Amino acid sequence: MSETNPAATAAASAEAAPHRYTAALAAEIEARWQDFWDVDGTYAAPNPTGDLADDAELAAKPKKFIMDMFPYPSGAGLHVGHPLGYIATDVYARFQRMTGHNVLHTLGFDAFGLPAEQYAVQTGTHPRVSTEANMENMKAQLRRLGLGHDKRRSFATIDPEYYKWTQWIFVQIFNSWYDDEAKKARPISELVALFESGERPVPGHTRAWSELTAAERADVLGEFRLAYASDAPVNWCPGLGTVLANEEVTADGRSERGNFPVFKAKLRQWNMRITAYADRLIEDLDGLDWPEAIKLQQRNWIGRSEGARVDFPVDGERITVFTTRPDTLFGATYMVLAPEHPLVEKFTPEAWPEGTHEAWTGGHATPAEAVAAYRAQAAAKSDVERQAEAKDKTGVFTGVFAVNPVNGEQVPVFIADYVLMGYGTGAIMAVPAHDTRDFAFARAFELPIRCVVEPTDGRGTDTSTWDDAFSSYDAKLVNSAGESVTLDGLAVPEAKARITEWLTETGIGEGTVNFRLRDWLFSRQRYWGEPFPIVYDEDGIAHSLPESMLPLELPEVEDYSPRTFEPDDADTQPETPLSRNDEWVHVTLDLGDGRGPRPYRRETNTMPNWAGSCWYEFRYLDPHNDRELVDPAIEQYWMGPREGLPHGGVDLYVGGAEHAVLHLLYARFWSKVLFDLGHVSSAEPFHKLYNQGMIQAYVYRDSRGIAVPAAEVEERDGAFWYQGEKVSRLLGKMGKSLKNAVTPDEIAAEYGADTLRLYEMAMGPLDVSRPWDTRAVVGQFRLLQRLWRNIVDENTGAPTVTDAEPDEDTLRALNKAIDGVGQDLEGLRFNTAIAKVTELNNHLTKAYGSGGSLPRTVAEPLVLMIAPLAPHIAEELWRTLGHTDSVVHQDFPVADPRYLVDDTVTCVVQIKGKVKARLEVPPTISDEELEKAALSDEKVVAALGGAPIRKVIVRAPKLVNIVSG
Ligand code: ANZ
Q: What is the number of the ligand 1 atom nearest to the C-alpha of 421?
A: 17
CA nearest ligand 1 atom 19, residue: 419
Q: Which of 324, 389, 391 to mutate to test the pocket of ligand 1 (most atoms within 8 A of CB)?
A: 324
What CATH code is carried by the domain that includes residue 921? 3.10.20.590
Q: Which of 302, 319, 325, 513 to mutate to test the pocket of ligand 1 (most atoms within 8 A of CB)?
A: 325
The yes-or-no verdict on residue 383 having pLDDT over 70 is no
Residues 649-704: tens digit of each pLDDT? 999 999 999 999 999 999 999 999 999 999 999 999 999 999 999 999 999 999 99
The yes-or-no verdict on residue 341 having pLDDT over 80 is yes
Q: What is the number of the ligand 1 atom nearest to the C-alpha of 471?
A: 31
Q: What is the H or E stretch that residue 260 is in?
A: none
Check whether residue 410 and residue 481 sit in a common domain: yes
Q: What is the number of the ligand 1 atom nearest to the C-alpha of 422?
A: 17
The yes-or-no verdict on residue 273 having pLDDT over 90 is yes
* pLDDT range class, residue 119, cuts 50, 70, 90: confident
Is any ligand 1 atom within 6 A of the Cβ of residue 424? yes
**HSE value, Cβ hemisphere, 13 Å, CA-based, for 155:** 23
Residues 6+ apart with CB under 8 A from 73: 109, 111, 131, 134, 135, 137, 138, 156
Check whether residue 413 and residue 278 sit in a common domain: no
Q: What is the pLDDT of residue 390?
A: 62
Is any ligand 1 atom within 6 A of the Cβ of residue 305? yes
Check whether residue 263 and residue 220 sit in a common domain: yes
For residue 326, how far is its CA from the centre of ligand 1 (angstroms)? 10
Q: What is the number of the ligand 1 atom nearest to the C-alpha of 326?
A: 1
CA nearest ligand 1 atom 25, residue: 323
Q: Report yes or no on 769 lying in a domain.
A: yes
For residue 423, how far is its CA from the centre of ligand 1 (angstroms)? 9
Q: What is the pLDDT of residue 17?
A: 86
Check whether residue 436 and residue 402 sit in a common domain: yes
For residue 306, how far is its CA from the centre of ligand 1 (angstroms)? 11
* pLDDT range class, residue 14, cuts 50, 70, 90: low
Bridge partner residues of 186 (DSSP): 177
CA nearest ligand 1 atom 31, residue: 434
Residues 763-797: tens digit of each pLDDT? 999 999 989 999 899 999 999 999 999 999 999 99
Number of domains in the chain: 4
Query: Cα 288 vs. chain centroid, distance in angstroms?
Result: 13
Check whether residue 532 and residue 403 sit in a common domain: no
What CATH code is carried by the domain that includes residue 851? 1.10.730.10
Residues 71-99: tens digit of each pLDDT? 999 988 899 999 999 999 999 999 999 99
Is any ligand 1 atom within 6 A of the Cβ of residue 428? yes
Give the chain's length: 965
* pLDDT range class, residue 2, cuts 50, 70, 90: very low
The DSSP secondary structure of 266-286, one letter per residue, reads: EEEEEEE-GGGGHHHHHHGGG
Task: Quote the longest CA-to-CA distance of the chain.
Answer: 122
The DSSP secondary structure of 189-218, one letter per residue, reads: HHHHHHHHHTSS--TT-SS-GGGS-HHHHH
Residues 358-374: tens digit of each pLDDT? 999 999 999 999 999 99
| Residue of 395, 384, 411, 308 lying closest to 360 (CA atoms) | 395
Q: Which of 423, 466, 472 to mutate to test the pocket of ligand 1 (most atoms within 8 A of CB)?
A: 423
For residue 835, how far is its CA from the centre of ligand 1 (angstroms)? 54
What CATH code is carried by the domain that includes residue 507? 3.90.740.10
| Residue of 527, 542, 535, 617 lying closest to 575 (CA atoms) | 527
CA nearest ligand 1 atom 7, residue: 435
Check whether residue 438 and residue 317 sit in a common domain: yes
Check whether residue 492 and residue 526 sit in a common domain: no
Q: How many CB atoms lie within 10 A of CB 745?
A: 18
Return mean pLDDT, the chain. 93
**Average pLDDT estimate for 126-146:** 96
| Residue of 119, 242, 156 lying closest to 577 (CA atoms) | 242
What is the SS3 string spanning 131-199?
HHHHHHHHHHHHHCCCCCCCHHHCCECCCHHHHHHHHHHHHHHHCEEEECCCCEEEEHHHHHHHHHHCC
pLDDT-wise least confident of 81-90, 225-234, 401-410, 873-882: 225-234
For residue 376, how far is its CA from the centre of ligand 1 (angstroms)? 24
d(CA 91, CA 533): 40
Percent of residues in the chain assigned helix, strand, coil, to nearest 5: 40, 20, 40
CA nearest ligand 1 atom 20, residue: 419
**Average pLDDT estimate for 526-530:** 93
For residue 501, how far is its CA from the centre of ligand 1 (angstroms)? 20
**Average pLDDT estimate for 849-863:** 91
Q: Report yes or no on 210 lying in a domain.
A: yes
CA nearest ligand 1 atom 11, residue: 305
For residue 438, how far is its CA from the centre of ligand 1 (angstroms)? 10
Check whether residue 751 and residue 895 sit in a common domain: yes
The yes-or-no verdict on residue 607 having pLDDT over 70 is yes
The yes-or-no verdict on residue 349 having pLDDT over 50 is yes
- Of 489, 514, 539, which closes a domain? 514
Q: What is the pLDDT of residue 5?
A: 56
Range of the domain at 815: 744-899
Q: What is the pLDDT of residue 252?
A: 81
Q: Which of 311, 320, 323, 429 to mutate to test the pocket of ligand 1 (most atoms within 8 A of CB)?
A: 323
Check whether residue 276 and residue 357 sit in a common domain: no
d(CA 81, CA 656): 11
Q: What is the pLDDT of residue 425?
A: 94
d(CA 924, CA 839): 26
Q: What is the number of the ligand 1 atom nearest to the C-alpha of 514?
A: 11
d(CA 764, CA 780): 13
For residue 305, how far is its CA from the centre of ligand 1 (angstroms)? 10
Percent of the chain with pLDDT over 70: 98
**Average pLDDT estimate for 197-210:** 95
For residue 324, how far is its CA from the centre of ligand 1 (angstroms)? 6
Would you say 736 is a known binding-site residue? Answer: yes
**Average pLDDT estimate for 550-564:** 87
Q: Report yes or no on 125 lying in a domain.
A: no
Q: Report yes or no on 877 lying in a domain.
A: yes
Q: Report yes or no on 537 lying in a domain.
A: yes
Check whether residue 379 and residue 323 sit in a common domain: yes
**Average pLDDT estimate for 103-110:** 98
Q: Report yes or no on 594 lying in a domain.
A: yes
Q: What is the pLDDT of residue 194?
A: 98
Residues 451-501: tens digit of each pLDDT? 999 999 999 999 999 999 999 999 999 999 999 999 999 999 999 999 999
Q: Which of 428, 434, 471, 514 to mutate to test the pocket of ligand 1 (most atoms within 8 A of CB)?
A: 428
**Residue 647 to residues 179, 302, 337, 443: CA-CA distances in angstroms?**
21, 21, 43, 52
Q: What is the pLDDT of residue 10?
A: 52
**Average pLDDT estimate for 221-249:** 88
Question: Residue 47: what are its φ and ψ, rounded to 5°?
Answer: -95, 155
Check whether residue 834 and residue 938 sit in a common domain: no
For residue 434, how far is its CA from the centre of ligand 1 (angstroms)? 11
Q: What is the pLDDT of residue 384?
A: 67
Q: Report yes or no on 118 lying in a domain.
A: no
| Residue of 150, 500, 442 lying closest to 324 (CA atoms) | 500
For residue 349, how far is its CA from the centre of ligand 1 (angstroms)? 27
Q: What is the pLDDT of residue 187?
A: 98
The yes-or-no verdict on residue 3 having pLDDT over 50 is no
d(CA 903, CA 921): 9
More confident residue, 852 or 670: 670
More confident residue, 892 or 569: 892
**Average pLDDT estimate for 532-555:** 97
Check whether residue 480 and residue 383 sit in a common domain: yes
Q: What is the pLDDT of residue 905?
A: 87
Residues 25-59: tens digit of each pLDDT? 999 999 999 999 999 999 999 998 877 778 888 88
Q: Report yes or no on 726 lying in a domain.
A: no
- Of 514, 545, 575, which closes a domain? 514
Cβ(323)–Cβ(429) below 8 Å:
yes
CA nearest ligand 1 atom 14, residue: 424
- Of 569, 586, 602, which closes a domain? 602
